[in-house]
């Protein structure tokens, strides 16, 4: 089939040569029948899985030697797009020669990587990554039928990004350890959200229980609350005026992180605490604006007032904020 008959030229370029070849010439498409498997003393497993989001479906055949649990032969039938055919074909090839216990460890990322022409270039456009996820899911279904367990038992974590197989716990840990503040940073560190993008926020290709925007927001909130508590605990009784200079700076940074910094960053700016000086009447906090905030007219009026009002409310009514 000519590429002009299948996809527009620009979209076609997003597919690897392996994918386009297997779309037209799959190597493992077909059926395995019960009688022939029995003749060889093997057990036949037939698993079906369908993706509600796109209407594609795949049937996977495993011929298994029950003495060793080894998949000696495998075929598939795909009812869907060309990408589903290519993904299913590679998935089937990856299963042959493995034990059932080994095959269930094959992920959609393994399938997608096997479809690449080179290690650095994705094999399919992001919106087609779900096809390799479907291949992963039908493997779990086949393994569950053979082992007599629930397919969900193979998942011991909540998976947020199906495309990259990134769990909720991993995302929370990466955000904390690396102090991440944006979705782009999360994608750079974990690959979550880098494919079909359904896990980033509502309204994507598939609805999700967890979204990166909410995980980032909730985790950052927990981190800020922990900073505030740690800063308060460091003082004699949580009173800002009795804290040491280091404790005061930490407390101020915690309030800024929780209530102010995100708004500055949205406008391309930021700020840092330079010094804190205590007098009988006031606690003067000296700050420096960074990025777009430096030189902005609002930095000495509305923005400054908002920062000072927040610190007064959270820490001490005697605070004054002075930009330098």
pLDDT digits (tens, 9 = 90+) for 122-137: 888 877 777 777 888 8
The domain locations on the chain are: 3-152, 160-218, 235-323
* pLDDT at position 46: 97
* pLDDT at position 33: 96
Tens-place pLDDT, residues 182-208: 999 998 888 889 888 899 999 877 788
Residue 227: pLDDT above 80?
Answer: no
Tens-place pLDDT, residues 237-279: 457 888 888 888 888 988 898 889 988 998 889 999 999 999 8
Tell me the C-alpha distance between 72 and 61, whole Å.
Answer: 11
pTM, full prediction? 0.55
User: Residue written as tokens 């509305």?
Assistant: 302
- Among residues 54, 161, 199, 293, the one annotated as catalytic is 54
Q: Give the max Cα distance, the chain.
A: 95
Strands of the sheet with 70-79, listed across from one edge = 43-50, 57-65, 70-79
What residues are paired with 319 via a beta bridge?
Answer: 283
Strands of the sheet with 269-278, listed across from one edge = 269-278, 283-291, 319-323
What residues are paired with 273 via a beta bridge?
Answer: 287
What's the token pair of residue 168? 């909720």
* pLDDT at position 126: 72
CA distances from 287 to 50, 88, 293, 304, 323 (A): 57, 58, 12, 10, 5
For residues 41-69, average pLDDT: 89
Tell me the percentage of the chain whose pLDDT exceeds 90. Answer: 47
| Cβ neighbours, 10 Å, residue 245 | 11
3-152 has which fold?
Sufe protein. Chain: A (3.90.1010)
| Cβ neighbours, 10 Å, residue 226 | 12
- Among residues 95, 131, 163, 199, the one annotated as catalytic is 131
Tens-place pLDDT, residues 206-217: 788 999 999 999
Q: Is 296 a known active-site residue?
A: no
**What pLDDT band is residue 26 in, cutting at 50, 70 and 90?**
very high
For residues 79-85, average pLDDT: 87
What's the token pair of residue 44? 């036949």
Tell me the C-alpha distance between 84 and 19, whole Å.
Answer: 10
User: How far is C-alpha 73 from the chain's CA centre?
Assistant: 34
Q: Count how many residues are written for the chain.
A: 324
235-323 has which fold?
GMP Synthetase; Chain A, domain 3 (3.30.300)
């Amino acid at each position: 089939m000519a590429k002009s008959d299948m996809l527009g030229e620009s979209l076609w370029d997003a597919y690897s040569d392996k994918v386009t070849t297997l779309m037209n010439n799959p190597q493992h498409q077909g059926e395995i029948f019960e009688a022939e498997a029995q003749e060889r003393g093997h057990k036949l497993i037939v698993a079906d899985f369908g993706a509600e989001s796109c209407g594609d479906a795949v049937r996977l055949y495993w011929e298994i030697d029950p003495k060793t649990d080894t998949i000696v032969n495998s075929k598939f039938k795909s009812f869907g797009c060309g990408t589903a055919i290519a993904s299913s074909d590679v998935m089937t090839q990856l299963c042959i020669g493995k034990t059932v216990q080994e095959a269930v460890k094959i992920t959609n990322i393994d399938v997608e990587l096997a479809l690449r022409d080179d290690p650095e270039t994705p094999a399919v456009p992001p919106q087609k990554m779900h096809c390799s996820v479907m291949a992963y899911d039908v493997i779990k279904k086949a393994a569950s039928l053979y082992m007599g367990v629930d397919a969900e038992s193979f998942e011991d974590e909540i998976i947020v990004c199906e495309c990259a197989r990134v769990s909720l716990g991993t995302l929370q840990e990466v955000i904390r350890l690396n102090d991440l503040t944006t979705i782009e940073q999360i994608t750079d560190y974990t690959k979550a959200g880098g494919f079909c993008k359904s896990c980033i926020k509502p309204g994507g290709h598939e609805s999700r229980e967890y979204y990166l925007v909410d995980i980032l927001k909730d985790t950052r909130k927990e981190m800020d609350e922990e900073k505030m508590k740690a800063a308060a605990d460091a003082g004699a009784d949580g009173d800002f005026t009795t804290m040491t200079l280091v404790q005061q700076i930490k407390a101020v940074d915690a309030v800024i992180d929780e209530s102010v910094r995100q708004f500055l960053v949205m406008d391309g700016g930021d700020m840092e605490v330079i010094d804190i000086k205590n007098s009988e009447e006031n606690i003067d906090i000296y700050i420096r604006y960074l990025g777009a905030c430096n030189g902005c007219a609002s930095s000495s009026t509305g923005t400054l007032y908002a920062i000072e009002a927040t610190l007064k409310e959270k820490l001490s009514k005697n605070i004054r904020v002075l930009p330098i």
